Chain A
Amino acid sequence: MADTWNTDTGEAVYRSRDAVKNLKEELVVGWQEKLFSQYEMELFQNEAACQTPLDCQYHTEVNALNKAKGRRNKRIFTYTDHDRYTQYLAFHQMVGCSPTFLAERMASLTHRRSDRRTVDCSIPKSKIINWEPTEEFVKSSRVVNNAMQTMHIMGDLGPPGRLGVRENECLLITIKTDGIGTIIVKPDFNKGKEPYRIVTEGEKREVWCLTVENVSTALKADEKHREQMMYKDLYVRHKDYLNSLVGQDFEMPPVGVLRYMVNGEIVSAKGFEYDNLYIHFFMELPNNWSSLSSQSLSGVTQICQTKTLGKENVAFFSYPFSFEAFYMCEKESEVPQWPVLYFKVLSVDFWQRYRTEGYGYLLFPAIPGKHIVTCHTWRPLQTGTVSALKRFFIGGSPELEDQSYVRIPGTFKGERLSRFGFHTETTGSVTFNLHCIQQARVFVDATMLKKRRQKFFDQLGGFSQQGAVCTILEAFQRARRRMQEARESLPRDLISATSQLQNESSA
């Protein structure tokens, strides 16, 4: 019992003639430990009152207690999860007012639901769907409720000597927990505030003060440390296990080489003149680029009959391809040229007539990431009706001899590209999905130094900015090579050697 009394209303201070030990009771109650009240002791002594197996169990326990020293608690007793009083006590806490109809139904619902949850939860696969849910099922399924175990600690607040009267029972504390780690304590801990007041009914209205304190021992520092070490150990072991599955290494390109990888699909083609389209494509690698011999640089899609989508006829290819190339930059000041994909769209018909539908190209993007690119196409046109008739009746149409003419012809060396006099007709468009990845050793150093993303040639060159060991070594190797070459060519012809040196230094 508490020792502070509120003086707002006129309570009297009673001196009890009983010994102090009757008024003071100290108990340690275990979780779901059943302590009987006086009323229950008397009730369960009588075997006729036992209706459920739980009652019979209580009966045997009470008899055993009576044969032994008697119960160790006097006023404080508990209602555990299994007792039938548990569900109704939720609203009996409201002293003075009777529970409303809805509150009663709700309490019985939650109790019933938590009951059902404790039953084995494995449902056979054939019974996933309940085709004819009853109204009860529908009502109870609305409530999202974790299964909770409840325990009520009650106090018998009757006058001393007259314990065991049902009306004097009062709910002191309700503790609910679910298996996961949530504990609900009602009423909450006092935390230094004034204790709760419980007023009893009856002739002598007594006021009891209830203090709820959290006296659980906190985890000691070294125990906490031990727990943390255990977690860390667990994670390290899991990481080692993962490593052992795959291995620690990762395939890296050699030093000074950029690996450029594109995973993409040819998605669709639309807006072309004829039906039954297919695409024939190949990739072109500029200077300083190389690829593995196993890499196929060309491909043909399947022949697809178009369907009408909106206003256009579209053919779906869904053709995945994967392209990998390596870039080795010799000179630092050069801007790299990216590979190009040249494609042409053709149509075949039932009579095996092939027609060129369009030429196009796709420049692979320099920025890694996801790109959805739509390329427009054209086809060469010969003016005059003869070629149009030829195309319509027997198929065949003028084709490009050098497909790189679509972009910049391979043989082009001048300054200005002129396509004057070349007739074409606009045809449809082709859509590509590209996912580009770049990998190089220098990128590792860049992320280590936490630099912002720079342009590619800055990263591959510019060893003065980064100071990375490997780039310094590379530069040293290059300089050494140059010097060796210069020294070799020097005795042969002095003049040509100096001009060679000049060429190299200006490059």
Chain B
Amino acid sequence: MAELHIIGQIVGASGFPQSSLFCKWGVHTGGAWRLLSGLKEGQTQVDIPQTGDMAFWSHPIDLHYATKGLQGWPKFHLQVWHQDLFGRSQLYGYGHCHVPSSPGRHRISCVTWRPLGSWQEQFTQMFVGGGLQLRNPDLIYSGADRYRLRTEAMGTVELELGVIMRHFDKYGVEN
């Protein structure tokens, strides 16, 4: 049995059209992994930056996993949402990134995209907000079912993760 610690933070996001943002995040793993302690999903606060473009959340991540195999390495699923001054939320992007498999401190930039509708939908989105969301976000977790999905590029989410691995070398894992 090997153990993996993921300790870090979701620093913030930048590059989005508007900057009053919050993030829903979650970590998904395969069947051989077991979460020993920590919260594997959550939602940050809404941050409205005064200067600059980057919204900072500094949301802590502290996870402890135990595993029986290498398959299903944990990966992050992020959804960046925008909350406007009327309190409405609209989706600004989906992003996915794997947790690094080498120990140490990693700075990860996870890019995001959001589904794109027709011309009419984009036009109304400009005025009213809203826009398309995936009905079931689980379908895109593996990446296999994204064919013919039309999307547009959005901003980037910054994560700082420290990875500590234990007993992996006892089972012959080199990283």
Contact = CB atoms under 8 A, between A and B. Distances in A.
Given A250-B171, A251-B68, A300 B1 contact: no
B174 A443 contact: yes
Contacts of A447: 169-170, 172
B40 interface: no
Interface in A424-464: 433, 435-444, 447, 453
Main secondary structure of the interface of A (DSSP, over half): strand
The interface centre, meaning the residue of A302, A314, A370 with most chain B CB atoms within 10 A of its CB, is A302
B41 to A, nearest CB: 17
The interface centre, meaning the residue of B66, B113, B144, B170 with most chain A CB atoms within 10 A of its CB, is B113
Contacts of A250: 1-2, 67-69, 170-171
A259 B171 CA distance: 12
A365 B58 CA distance: 33
B171 A263 contact: no
Interface in B130-175: 141-144, 146-154, 169-175
The interface centre, meaning the residue of A250, A276, A301, A440 with most chain B CB atoms within 10 A of its CB, is A250
Contacts of B36: 242, 245
A315 B154 CA distance: 9
Contact of A242 (B66, B102, B110, B143): B66
A320 B153 contact: no
A264 to B, nearest CB: 7
Given A263-B75, A304-B113, A433-B97, A443 B144 contact: no
Contacts of B2: 250
A19 interface: no
Nearest to A244: B1
A324 B110 CA distance: 23
A252 interface: yes
A265 B67 contact: no
Contacts of A265: 96-98
Contacts of B142: 320
Interface string A254-291: 00000101011101100000001000000000000000
A435 B153 contact: no
Contacts of B96: 265, 318-320
B153 A307 contact: yes
A224 B112 CA distance: 57
Nearest to A239: B1
Contacts of A321: 143
A319 B143 contact: yes
Contacts of B67: 246, 250
Nearest to B156: A316
A261 B15 CA distance: 32
Nearest to B33: A246
B70 interface: yes
A252 B169 CA distance: 12
The interface centre, meaning the residue of A247, A263, A306, A324 with most chain B CB atoms within 10 A of its CB, is A263
Interface in B65-106: 66-71, 73, 75, 94-98, 100-102, 106
A315 B34 CA distance: 35
A159 interface: no
A249 interface: yes
Contacts of A433: 97-98
A307 B146 CA distance: 20
A305 B153 contact: yes
A252 B153 contact: no
A318 B66 CA distance: 26
A303 B147 CA distance: 7
Contact of A299 (B3, B100, B113, B144): B144
A368 interface: yes
Contact of A435 (B102, B112, B149, B154): B102
B116 A248 contact: no
Contact of A304 (B97, B148, B153, B174): B153
B39 interface: no
Contacts of A318: 94-97, 110-113
Contacts of B112: 316, 318
A280 to B, nearest CB: 9
A314 to B, nearest CB: 6
A251 B56 CA distance: 40
A369 interface: yes
B148 A303 contact: yes
Contact of A368 (B94, B113, B174): B174
18 contacts: A249-B1, A250-B2, A252-B172, A302-B148, A302-B151, A304-B152, A305-B151, A307-B152, A318-B95, A318-B96, A370-B106, A435-B73, A435-B98, A437-B101, A438-B175, A439-B173, A443-B172, A447-B170
